[in-house]
Structure 1
Amino acid sequence: MARKKIAVVGAGNVGATTAQRLAEKEIGDVILVDIIQDMPQGKALDILESAPVYGYDSKIIGTNEYEETRNSDIVVVTSGVARKPGMSRDDLLKINAGIVKGVVENIVKTSPNAILIVVSNPLDAMTYVAHKISRFPKNRIMGMAGVLDAARFSTFIAMDLNVSVENIHAFVLGGHGDTMVPSTRYTTVAGVSVEELIPKSRLEAIVKRTREGGAEIVNLLKTGSAFYAPSAAVAEMAKSIVKDKKKILPCAALCEGEYGINGLFVGVPVKLGERGIEQVFEIKLNNEESAALKRSAEAVKTLCDQVDKLL
């Protein structure tokens, strides 16, 4: 059976590491695209030359042209300016909206049937840009955020309890950033609610650290933003799609009435299979969670209203 074709647009830290993970896990053959001459070709060749050591047969090429990506099954959009210390995701809006618009216009011409995974920040708004420009059906367009946020939440819980991360199922809703809604009620450790295991004050500190997870890394790196965990999250999503695993993962999906949200991409639990988003799971929220999700959706709407003026 032919391997799936996955295009990764943007060969910076996030894009190149995503290409590496997709190749190593043999999720598909990878085309790494960037406007900088020779750079994606160099990174792709370096990843390809790792294959004899790591033992994978995925093909990977680098290119400056979208023609090489023609008829991709999945396109991962990582293009855009990375956050710098003191810069909010919202500061990136104007610059990255223009970049993502151009990328998506090229994708529509070359891979009109692709499933789009958007990684560029501010993520919920950039997924909205991609949808607005591509006009792809809602099942074929999503943002990578929830998988990353849930991974950060799981990491901090595992550190606190000194248990395996594999025992933790973290549940995160809402926009990617300061308004996200990590649900302690639905987050479990070996099936037991985390609320039973960690005192409220410590849990609140973990939730706060999860919300600020991206900024914490930006401040430590000083010259860029996270890329190891974001690329791992993309690979997890791509694997569920390519292998039709139908995993329930939190992704930025277009809500049309679910959770009382309309016309916005917000982090919700979805079933990811070969058709992309096959179902949005609507779970029962308490008043506090509903109010927090509403606030998060309003913050996303503010950005999308700005996008409408820009495009």
Structure 2
Amino acid sequence: MVKAVVLGASGGIGQPLSLLLKICPLIDELSLYDVVNTPGVTADLAHISSRAKTTGYLPNGDGLKLTLTGADIVVIPAGIPRKPGMTRDDLFKINAGIVRDLVTGIAEYCPKAFILIISNPVNSTVPIAAEVLKSKNVFDPKRLFGVTTLDVVRSETFVAEIIGESDPQTLKIPVVGGHSGETIVPLLSQAKPSVQIPADKLDALVNRVQYGGDEVVKAKDGAGSATLSMAYAGFRFAEKILKAVRGEKGIIEPTYVYLPGVEGGAEIAKATGVEYFSVPVELGTNGAEKAYNPLTDTNDYEKKLLEAAMKGLKGNIEKGVDFIKNPPAK
């Protein structure tokens, strides 16, 4: 029996993510939680003729406890969305508090669950989650993930457009670093199969991968952010975790993890100067089994991108850790 949970299930990402998880044959029970509208979303999804039994809760009446108890995997898209002109950093104060409180619940009710953080800014919210779990003595670095899959998905899509590949999913493009702006580094030189990007299109391609979210915010004209593509990316990574837990071998996906706690990660942490970084990670029955270091094979162009990424990440990570260690005055 596999119980999956979505915290923030009624939102722009939460609803399509919950739909995808509801129709996933690897899930037996799907439990939804949000501060509003969860009963309606739950009732709607419950009419779908798929395997997963669906339940939903609001905060009242021990809702978070009922949602999380017995959970095997928890996906967290909760938080406010970006609005036009808003950076991921602008979201920090509100979303940081939301993640802190939800992860406190996870620490109490399902400390051994796999935790997938979507809530922005991921560069900071994953360290926040780790600090909360450490404070409760239940931190397992192999079970905490920042979902950076959308950056991978965008890379596949945009590269496929340039090279004329009809099926973007045939491309494997490692995207490393973080999950905002210049901290996102697509390692196009390591794409499989190898790709040749015209020199006059390279800068624009990298910029589009890094700032693809802005493209969606602008196109939605104030009506939302990248919700559908993020829901797909969140589901894609959750499905990889579920397959790995069932024993499927050879699953390697880029994800933002606490490097010192994952095999192979200490070397990358030393090279980057940061403890959190997205790299290709082999997934297994216990979660993050091994981190792979793609940084030794980067070209000069990518090295410059990585320098900017590492500089940005240091501040993001420190901000997340400081939020828990020195909480802001209420």
Scaled by the length of structure 1, the TM-score of the pair is 0.90
| Contact 2:45/2:54, CA 8 A, preserved across alignment | yes
Give the secondary-structure state (helix, strand or coil) at the position aligned to 1:270: strand
- Give CA-to-partner distance per residue, 1:20-56, whole Å, 9 cap, x none: 11111223121110122xx1111121112122xxxx2
| Contact 2:280/2:291, CA 8 A, preserved across alignment | yes
- Aligned partners of 2:232 and 2:305: how far apart in 1? 27
- Aligned partners of 1:18 and 1:309: how far apart in 2? 30
Partner of 2:254: 250
Partner of 2:318: 305
- Aligned partners of 1:218 and 1:242: how far apart in 2? 31
| Contact 2:65/2:105, CA 8 A, preserved across alignment | no
* 2:240 maps to 1:240: yes
| Contact 1:71/1:113, CA 8 A, preserved across alignment | no
Q: 1:88 to 1:177 in 2, by over 3 A?
A: same
Partner of 1:186: 190
Deviation at 1:142, TM superposition (A): 0.7
Amino acid at match of 1:185: S
Partner of 2:132: 133
Partner of 1:59: 53
Partner of 2:21: 22
Partner of 1:271: 282
Deviation at 1:57, TM superposition (A): 1.5
- Give CA-to-partner distance per residue, 1:259-309, whole Å, 9 cap, x none: 313553221110122211111011223354344324312212212222333
Q: 1:204 to 1:288 in 2, by over 3 A?
A: closer
Mark the runs of 5 or more structure 1 residues left unpaired by the alignment: none
Superposed, 1:31-110 pairs within 5 Å as 31-36=31-36, 39-51=37-49, 56-64=50-58, 65-68=63-66, 69-110=68-109
- Aligned partners of 1:169 and 1:308: how far apart in 2? 32
- Aligned partners of 2:160 and 2:304: how far apart in 1? 28
Give the secondary-structure state (helix, strand or coil) at the position aligned to 2:181: coil
Name whichever of 265-274 and 87-96 sits farther off: 265-274
Scaled by the length of structure 2, the TM-score of the pair is 0.85
- Aligned partners of 2:316 and 2:133: how far apart in 1? 19
Deviation at 1:127, TM superposition (A): 0.7
Cα RMSD of the aligned pairs, angstroms, is: 1.7
Amino acid at match of 1:194: V
